Amino acid sequence: MVLRKIVKIDEEKCNGCGRCVSPCAEGAIQIIDGKAKVIRDELCDGAGFCLGVCPTGALTIEEREAEAFSHQAVEEHLEKTPHTETQEIEISCFNCTRTDQQAPLFPIRYKGDSVWVCAKCLPQMIHG
């Protein structure tokens, strides 16, 4: 066990929407009994890519004693459960509806919502 940063899920706030599942490249988050769960501490690197997509603010980063992040555990986990199979919903750019198959997508906050924007629309939003 090591002291490190790791994703924390507030089950009171989680509505089980599943938006946080696909941003996690390690496949660490799954929806179980209607709530998001970090299925094993060693799969969560604490990078927090999932935080920006949560509409309810249920996701935060905490520092606590946990199993060290393990690249090997992630590889074994993804071999058994390919990440595409863990995706609950298809994500797309809120502006043009391109999917992540068509352009890189980034999570942003916009007008109070957590949305995805693609690499083609993001410059327009920045520069007008």
Summarize as ranges the residues that interact with ligand SF4 (CB under 6 A).
Answer: 9, 14-20, 36, 53-54, 56, 58-59
Residue with smaller CB distance to ligand SF4, 39 or 120? 39
Helix (H, G, I), strand (E, B) or coil at 66: strand
| Own/partner long-range contacts of 103-112 (Cβ < 8 Å, ≥24 apart) | 107/23, 107/49, 107/52, 107/53, 108/52, 109/52
- What is the nearest approach in angstroms of ligand SF4 to the Cβ of residue 16? 5
The structure tokens 């769960």 sit at 37
Residue with smaller CB distance to ligand SF4, 16 or 46? 16
Beta-bridge partner residues of 1? none
- What is the nearest approach in angstroms of ligand SF4 to the Cβ of residue 31? 6
Residue with smaller CB distance to ligand SF4, 6 or 53? 53
Residue with smaller CB distance to ligand SF4, 59 or 118? 59
- What is the nearest approach in angstroms of ligand SF4 to the Cβ of residue 20? 3
